[in-house]
Structure formats: C-alpha cells, structure tokens
Amino acid sequence: MLEKGTKAPGFALPDKDGNIVNLSDFSGRKVVLYFYPKDNTPGCTRQACAFASAYDRFRQLDAVVIGISKDSAASHIKFAEKHSLPFILLSDTELDAIQKYDVWKEKKLYGKTSMGVVRTTYVIDENGIIEMVMPKVKPDTNAAEILEYLTKGE
C-alpha cells in the first residue's frame, strides 16, 4: 500500500469511451480513486452502485470519483450502462496504475492462490498528495465512509 502523505503516482489510462485520462487532469480537485477486482461481480457492483448513489454529493464536494480495474473498456461500457454509473471508469489491462498503487496482491480463495486486485480506495488531495488510504474496503460501506471523511470538516 502507498502511504498517506506521499505523492500519488501519475497514470494515463483509457476510460470506457477510449479517452485517455491522466491523474494530472484533476489537479486542484480531490480525487477518490478506488481499485476494484472485476466488473459485474456482486461486491464490485454493490461498491459501484453505492458510489453512483452518492455521486451528486461527491460532485457538491468537488470530488472526482474514479474506479480502476483491469477490465477492458468494452467491459466498462457494459458495466456502466447496466448500472447507470455516472463516474469515470478506467481500464488498466497492463496493470500500470494497479501496480504503482500497490494493489496487485496474492489472494487466496477456496484454498487456491492467485494474483488479483485488492479492493482499495485512496483519497488524493488537490495537490496530488495521498491524504487517505483505505485498504481491503467493504463494498457496501466504502462510498459512505469516504463521504463521511470528506465532510468531517463541514
């Protein structure tokens, strides 16, 4: 995991429409950057839908929500359309950002070991510094926890 107070690694990844999105595009704004294992799986769908439900509140706080997985742009299109996801989904098929943010880990499921994305959320401040790290987040509460964190000073 990357640590609070460190510079967030830059990335340039395609969104679901094939547009290249850079972290630096959001300089001056807070970024909620969440990494998730796979489109259209139960936990990832619940997490994405929770962010979608809270999206207007994130916008009011001028926070950008970005979800990253190793799924293809085509998979992201289907996922976003099926669940009306209004925020940015980025495709990291080469594991560039996934590895830079140290979320590609060994996982065990049913006694089988494999490599995969560990569900993790970072809050990046207006200057590109990581201000919060949430490892192994719960899909159902992640969006609410981030909103609580972002509004604690209001």
Residue for token pair 């830059």: 10
- Cβ atoms of residues 124 and 3 within 8 Å: no
Say whether 49 is catalytic: no
Query: Looking at the chain, how many residues does it have?
Result: 154
Catalytic residue (one of 13, 21, 31, 44)? 44
Closest CA to 31 of 10, 14, 16, 50: 10
- Cβ atoms of residues 91 and 76 within 8 Å: yes
How far apart CA 42 and CA 140 sit, in angstroms, is 10
- Looking at the annotation, which residues are catalytic? 44
